[in-house]
Amino acid sequence: MNTTPIISPAGATTISTPDVHRMIGALTRQLHDSLNGLGLTEKVNAWADEIPDAKSRLSYIARLTGEAAEKVLNRVDLAKAQDDYIAAETRRIGALIVKDPVAAVAKGHVMNFLSDVERSTKEIDGHLTEIMMAQDFHDLTGQVIAKVVNLAAAIEEELVRLLVLTAPAHLPAEATPAATADKAAPHGPSLSGPVVNPEGNPDVVKGQSEVDDLLASLGF
């Protein structure tokens, strides 16, 4: 076994590797006993289940914000193209009117231009509506973020409790469980929020058509 001595940062104490292993073993045992003593084992198991779920939720946030950004940029591109078209047409028709106002009207250039403007503005309005709708990610991701924050707060709270109860008596307890308790469950009664992984889950609907079908089957 390697018995290389370890020198502490202060350089005052020398600890051998077997000693370090023994200390880590003792700490692990103390942590294990403390978790059992405080009844936290079940909570730790629950956290182990929830952390992958938190990872899916964070992936969901990344996907939703990415899709929203993509949608906005695509719609801005389309709206700018329409805007450029109107600007170019305005210059062209302006030049025709200056050159020969009667011909510009008689040949239908002005009326065609007005029709184009009306069509383009309607299309731009549609793009603006889609850009506005894309902002709904704020609501959906906000709810998911709240759930992940609640999980982190719950873990933090229990770890602080563990730390306070197992800390040497002479150390001041700067953080207490009460300091973090108020962070949990800001949204009151438990609701599931946005469905992050709807596939293969028969208990949730996957879109508005399924909502309508369900309500219709109930006679609503």
Partner 1 sequence: MANELRFLVVDDFSTMRRIVRNLLKECGYSEADEAEDGVAALNKLRNSNFDFVVSDINMPNMNGFQLLAEIKKDEKLKHLPVLMVTAEARKEDIVMAAQQGAAGYIVKPFTKATLEDKVTLILTKMGLK
Point out which residues bind partner 1 (CB under 8 A).
129, 132-133, 135-140, 142-143, 186-189, 191-195, 198, 203-208, 211, 214-215, 218, 220
Phi-psi region of 153 (alpha: psi -120 to 50; beta: other; left: phi over 0): alpha
Question: What's the distance, Cα to Cα, between the start and end of the chain in Å?
Answer: 75
Nearer to partner 1, 7 or 215 (CB): 215
Cβ neighbours, 10 Å, residue 95: 10
Q: How far is the CB of 193 from partner 1 (least distance, A)?
A: 6
The residue (of 96 and 146) whose beta carbon lies closer to partner 1 is 146
DSSP 92-161: HHHHHHHH-HHHHHHTTHHHHHHHHHHHHHHHHHHHHHHHHHHTTHHHHHHHHHHHHHHHHHHHHHHHHH
Whichever of 93 and 151 has its CB closer to partner 1, that residue is 151
| Least distance between partner 1 and beta carbon 144 (Å) | 9
Using alpha carbons, list the distances in angstroms from residue 33 to 28, 142, 158, 202. Answer: 9, 38, 15, 41
Least distance (Å) between residue 188 CB and partner 1: 6
3-state secondary structure of 7: strand
| Least distance to partner 1, CB of residue 123, Å | 15
Minimum distance from residue 127 beta carbon to partner 1 (Å): 13
Nearer to partner 1, 82 or 141 (CB): 141
Which residue lies nearer to partner 1 by CB, 177 or 194?
194
CB atoms within 10 A of CB 137: 19
Write down the least CB distance from residue 196 to partner 1, Å: 10
Our CB check for partner 1 shows the closer of 178 and 195 to be 195
Nearest to 194 by CA among 72, 75, 63: 63
